[in-house]
Structure 1
Amino acid sequence: MTSQTDLAALLCSRLCHDLLSPVGALSNGLELLADEQDPEMRERCIELLEASAKISTDKLKFFRLAFGAAGGFGESVPIEEAQQVIGALAGEARKVEIQWAMATSSLPKPAIKVLLNLSQIALDALVRGGRLDIGTERLEGNIEIVARATGPRIAFDEAIGRALQDELQPGELTSRTAAAHMIALLADELGGGLQYRLTEEALVLGAVIPEPDGMIG
């Protein structure tokens, strides 16, 4: 049984891992800028700094919504915020087309967490680019979320699939599977569940989450 402290530590490790590259690039760019006298090279250094700063900001926005307490537990978050965050992540040197099918303009914060994490998992599976379809629907008191990745190669760690279904084996909870484990626990606490299906053509991730009291309709 993994403690909440262990899970928090693994999520922090994931955050540090994902931020290491863009923050390192910022540091390298500043060092180059301090030593460089050529105007053209200084301009290229500034472009590097701007790109690295944007990537760092985009990742922090994702972590804030996907793992943090921004907005308060149970409060509504505009779908547009999730779209902007996922769109930014997909734009980082990836050839991924995103299609949205959102039947609502906002979702409760827990549902946003699930949506963002499922989208990130699906996005990571598209190692050679492809298409990411993301949809949500409110139906009979539930919030249904689907993220579907299709492309020339789908790379998916089955341990993440087991984490989504709260079936991890001993030793499989790592910084790589921590996010999936977190939303599996979250969905279970809310009385919902997660599922996935993997074929040669596509990875489909889904969630069904009951509407919080007072937010149905």
Structure 2
Amino acid sequence: MTTAIDLDKLDLAALLCSRVCHDVISPVGAIVNGLEVLEDEDDPSMKAFALDLIAKSAKQASARLQFARLAFGAAGSAGAQIDTGDAENVARGFIQDDRTSLEWSVPRALLPKNKVKLLLNLLLVAVSTIPRGGRIALSATGEGEAGGFQLRSEGSHARIPPHLADLLAGNAPDGGMVDAHAIQPHYTGLLARATGFAIRLSHEGDAVAITVETA
């Protein structure tokens, strides 16, 4: 028997903040470490290593904050629209690295804020299905505001994480607790229901398909 997740607004906000901090703390910590090396080391090679670490970590921290601003933040007034071109830019900065590539096939358009936030959060769900990296292909289905999305993540050990389907559906995992790790898929489900979409998952060998259609 499943139990619906019942979080008050303060708990939801706190858990989302914890999620954002979790994403940013690693590169910020690396910047601090690099600065400490610059202060303590006289070896030119170590200083060069520290400067490279600081530059890469600052770029990563910036990319993660820009992504979080669109994926979790207000991004304007209640009726605001977001350019999918801006969404693509922050998604590439956040997702693409040496292990994971992103193929974006969504036409550039102004879409309602919550639909774009849903799209970005779906990409995070897709990343969670390929723990060792791989390829994520994203495409739009249908046209206009009623159109949905299709995501396909491919990689070795692709899988649907435990409780992911329940969390997307708004159901509590075993024990009934939602923590900072589980809040993102739960939030994705909230966005889907708020925008009138349903999410389906399917596992196909080394790939996971995520279909988003009007409910």
TM-score (norm 1): 0.86
> Counterpart in 2 of 1:215?
none
CA distance in 1, matches of 2:144, 2:65: 34
Give 2:161's match in structure 1, choosing from 154, 157, 163: 157
CA distance in 1, matches of 2:43, 2:180: 42
Q: Which amino acid aligns with 1:146?
A: Q
| Gap regions ≥5 residues in structure 1 | 211-217
| Structure 2 residue 24 is matched with structure 1 residue 26 | no
**Helix, strand or coil at the partner of 2:147:** strand
Q: Residues 61, 141 of structure 1: CA spacing in aligned structure 2 closer, same or farther, 3 A cutoff?
A: closer
> How high is the sequence identity, in percent, across the aligned residues?
33
**Helix, strand or coil at the partner of 1:128:** coil
Give 1:97's match in structure 2, choosing from 93, 101, 107: 101
CA distance in 2, matches of 1:121, 1:148: 11
Q: Which amino acid aligns with 2:205?
A: E
Per-residue CA shift, 1:113-141, capped at 9, x if unaligned? 11111111212322222211111244375
> Counterpart in 1 of 2:117?
113
CA distance in 1, matches of 2:81, 2:57: 31
> Counterpart in 1 of 2:185?
180
- Residues 159 and 172 of structure 1 are in contact (CA less than 8 Å); yes or no, is this contact kept in structure 2? no
Displacement over 6 Å in runs of 4+: none
- Residues 133 and 155 of structure 2 are in contact (CA less than 8 Å); yes or no, is this contact kept in structure 1? yes
State the superposition RMSD in angstroms: 2.1
Alignment of 1:1-217 (within 5 A): 1-92=6-97, 94-139=98-143, 142-169=146-173, 170-208=175-213
**Helix, strand or coil at the partner of 2:126:** helix
- Using CA pairs under 8 Å that are at least 6 residues apart, name the structure with larger relative contact order, 1 or 2: 2
TM-score (norm 2): 0.87
Q: Residues 135, 74 of structure 1: CA spacing in aligned structure 2 closer, same or farther, 3 A cutoff?
A: farther
Q: Which amino acid aligns with 2:46?
A: M
**Helix, strand or coil at the partner of 2:75:** coil
Q: Which amino acid aligns with 1:34?
A: E
**Helix, strand or coil at the partner of 1:52:** helix
| Gap regions ≥5 residues in structure 2 | 1-5
